[in-house]
Every structure is written in structure tokens, then in C-alpha cells.
Amino acid sequence: MKQRIISAIIALIIVIPLYLIGGKVYALGVGLIAALAFKEISDLKEHKNIPMFIKLIAFACFELIVYNRFQASYIYNGASFAIICLSVLLLLIPAIFSKDDSYNTHKAFSLLGSIITIGFFFNFLILIRYADKWLLLYLILIAVMTDTFAMLIGCLIGKHKLIPKVSPKKSVEGSIAGSLLGTVIATLYYYNVITNNVNLLGLIVMTLFLTILGQLGDLFFSKIKRENDIKDFSNIMPGHGGILDRLDSLSFIVYGYIIIINVLKFLK
């Protein structure tokens, strides 16, 4: 427990100043954290034996995605299709010429999917911070409060396992409590800090939906660990695991928020 607390304090000492400073300093910090996440991806069992030159190409494509239009003045300006197309070609074509199983088409698709999924998540973290630091805090609050109360309530009264084959410690009771309390706290924050000029019912529904997505993100990354026979993605934060262990639920929340906002824009 002591080690876990120390790790959390060190992480906060690093992350909070980056968040408050914002701008290029924040973007640089996110890029460095993203690089650590890439290392965790490349160390997975299915990627471990991929040739180093392929991993270097993948890393270059990954960082291009992370910094895609990162100084945009608004969040939803769309992805750079050129970067996506470049990543597709650079990572799929080498599989044609691989003479052994070190880089087959399955590994190529797996690596490509990983860098696009995780890369755009970190890109969104930069774009959202550029647009509104309080909005980013709202999304982080959803992830933290949902995870925290799901764990606490699950430990106290959890009796029914949620999906034991994926995450044996998670309970139905904890999941419900996490979503409900996460929704209440994050909604109150949004309404009182960001703006009260909003449809309250719509805000509650959106926040509840994002708490559910956050838990699904947690479960998805837990399944990756199960399939790769690992407990944590890395030990960069002793007691907490790796970068992807800490950002798993937030990744799905961010993706969900981007979808919701774009749907609302379309409906207008």
C-alpha cells in the first residue's frame, strides 16, 4: 500500500503541472507518456518478436498520430487521412515480404490497430486540453470516480461477479454503484464548473453512458492482459502497473465523448 501511495504521489507531481501549464509543454509531456504506452504495446506477447525496424516504423507512425493537428483551435477537426493511410501502408506492406512468422499479416493488423487506437486517444487528450482544460478534467473525473467507487463498493458488498473470466474481482454491485456515483459527481462538476447552460437530463444521460463506457474500457484492457498472460502492462508505476493500466477506462470515455459531440453537431 505504501508503494502504491508513493507511486500515485509521484505521478500527480508530474501530471498536475503539465495539465496546468498546457500548451506545447503539456503536448510534449503527453507525447512522452504516449511513448511509454507504445513500449507496453510492443512488449505484448503477440508483438514481442516483431523485427525492430518494424517497431521503429510503428513508433514513428504512432507519434505522428499522437501529434496529428495537435495545435488545432478546436477539437473536432477530423483526423488526418494522410497519416492513417501512411501508417496502413508502412505497417502492412512489410508483412508481404516476411519470410518467417515474425511479422505475418495477423501481427501487422494487430500492431496497426493498436497504434491507431492508442495513438488517437493520446491525440484527443492533447486536443481536448487545448480546447478546454475543465472539459478534460470532467472526462478524467468520470474515469476516476467510476473506478474508485466501483472498487470500494465492490469490496464492501459485491457478491455477484461481473465477468469473472475477464476480471474476477469486479462485481455487478460495484459496477452499478460506480456508474451511479460517478454520474452524480461528474454531472455536478460539469453543471457547476463548466456551464449550467445545458440540458440537465441530457447531461446526466451522457455522463451515465460515459461511466459505462469507462468500465467497458477497463474490461477490454483487462482482457488484453488475460490473453497475453500478464498482470500489468508494465511496472512503471509500482503498485499501479503501467500507463495503459491507468488510462484504460479513460480511453473509452474519450472516444465516447468525441462520438457524442459529433452526433449532436450532425443533428443540429
The residue ranges of DSSP E strands in the chain, in sequence order, are 161-163, 167-171
Domain count, the chain: 2
**pTM of the complete model beyond 0.85:** yes
So what's the pLDDT on residue 262? 82
Q: What is the pLDDT of residues 135-180, one digit of tens each?
A: 999 999 999 999 999 999 988 887 889 888 888 888 999 999 999 9
Short-list 5, 31, 4, 36, CA closest to 18: 31
Looking at the structure, tell me whether residues 137 and 267 fall in a common domain.
yes
Tell me whether residue 205 is exposed, middle or buried, using C-beta atoms within 10 angstroms of its C-beta: 0 to 12, 13 to 18, 19 or more: middle
Of 85, 111, 131, which residue sits at a domain end?
Answer: 131
- Confidence (pLDDT) at 240: 76
Do 125 and 237 lie in one domain? The reply is no
Domain range for residue 49? 1-131
**pLDDT value, residue 265:** 78
Same domain, yes or no: 168 and 232: yes
Write out pLDDT tens, residues 28-47: 999 999 999 999 999 999 89
How do residues 85-131 score in pLDDT, each as one tens digit? 999 999 999 999 988 888 999 999 999 999 999 999 999 999 999 88
pLDDT of residue 55: 95
Residues 148 and 122 in one domain: no
- Of all residues in the chain, the percent with pLDDT exceeding 90 is 65
Are 234 and 179 part of one and the same domain?
yes
What count of other Cβ atoms lies within 10 Å of the Cβ of residue 265?
9
